Amino acid sequence: MSVVDRRDFLKLGAMGTVAAAGLAIPLGPSVSAKSASRLSDRDFPRPYRTAFRRPRVLKPVPGGETWDDVGRTLLFSVTAMASTAAILPRLVTPVRGYNGLVPGPVIDVEQGVRTRLRVRNALPPTNPIGGGSFATSTHLHGSASLPQYDGYANDLTRPGQYKEYHFPNFQDARTLWYHDHGVHHTSPNIYGGLAATYHLHDEYERGQLPQGEFDVPLLVSDAMFAADGTLAYDDDDHSGLWGDVVLVNGAPWPVMKVKRRVYRFRLLNAAVARSFRFALSTREPLVIVATDGGLMPVPQPVAAFRQAPAERYEVLVDFSRYSPGTLVDLVNLSNDNNVDYDHTGKVMRFEVTDAAYGGEHNLVPSALETGAIGLHTMALTRADAKEKVSLRVHRDDRTNLWVINGKSWNDVVDSRFREVVAKPAIDEVQLWEFENRGGGWFHPMHIHLVDFRVVGRNTNGGKPFPWELGPKDVVYVGENETVQVLVHFAVPKGSTGGRYMVHCHNAPHEDHDMMVQYQVGDNDPENDPNDPIAAAPPVWDDLPPDKPEYRPAVALPGW
Q: Is 32 exposed, middle or buried (0-12, 13-18, 19+ CB in 10 A)?
A: middle
Query: Which residues fall within 8 angstroms of residue 547, CB to CB, at 6 or more apart?
Result: none
Shortest gap between Cβ of 369 and ligand C2O (angstroms)?
A: 28
Give 266 or 306: the residue with its C-beta nearer to Cu ion.
306
- CB-nearer residue toward ligand C2O: 361 or 503: 503
Closer by beta carbon to Cu ion, 290 or else 504: 504
Q: Nearer to Cu ion by C-beta: 449 or 502?
A: 502
Name which of residues 498 to 517 contact ligand C2O (CB under 6 A). 501, 503, 505
Burial class of residue 113 (count of CB atoms within 10 Å of its CB; 0-12, 13-18, 19+): middle
- 365: Cβ–Cβ under 8 A, 6 or more apart, which residues? 208, 289, 299
Q: Which is nearer to Cu ion, 421 or 533 (by Cβ)?
A: 421
SS3 463: coil
Tell me the residue number closest to ligand C2O, measured at CB. 141
Answer for the pair 310, 272: CB distance below 8 angstroms, yes or no. no
Contact 45, 89 (CB under 8 A): yes
Of the candidates 181, 274, 361, 472, which one interacts with ligand C2O according to CB under 6 A? 181
Query: From the list ligand C2O, Cu ion, none, which binds 443 (C-beta under 5 to 8 Å, kind-based)?
Result: Cu ion
For the bound state, the minimum distance from the C-beta of residue 179 to Cu ion, rounded and expressed in Å, comes to 16
User: Which residues are within 8 A (CB) of 539 and not within 5 positions of it... i.e. 6 or more apart?
Assistant: 161, 162, 163
Pick one of 310, 330, 454, 491: the residue that binds ligand C2O (CB under 6 A): 310
CB of 309 to ligand C2O, least distance (A): 8
- Sequence-distant (6+) residues with CB within 8 A of 35 are 1, 244
| 262 vs 354: CA distance, rounded Å | 13
Of residues 500-529, those binding Cu ion (CB under 5 A):
504, 506, 509
Residues between 431 and 450 that touch Cu ion (CB under 5 A): 443
CB of 239: closest distance to Cu ion in angstroms?
9
Does 141 bind ligand C2O (CB under 6 A)? Our answer is yes
> What span, in angstroms and rounded, lies between the C-alpha atoms of 286 and 272?
24
How far apart, in whole angstroms, are the C-alpha atoms of residue 218 and residue 247? 9
Question: 211 with 364: CB under 8 angstroms?
Answer: no
Q: Give counts: helices (H), strands (E), the chain.
A: 7, 35
Residue 306 interacting partner from Cu ion, ligand C2O, none (CB closer than 5 to 8 Å by kind): none
Question: Smaller CB distance to ligand C2O: residue 52 or 518?
Answer: 518
Binding mask 98-137 for ligand C2O (x = CB under 6 A): ----------------------------------------
Angle at 229 between CA 223 and CA 230, to 5 degrees: 70
From 51-59, 201-209, 285-293, 497-505, span contacting Cu ion (CB under 5 A)? 497-505
Binding site for ligand C2O (CB under 6 A): 139, 141, 179, 181, 310, 446, 448, 501, 503, 505
Binding site for Cu ion (CB under 5 A): 443, 504, 506, 509
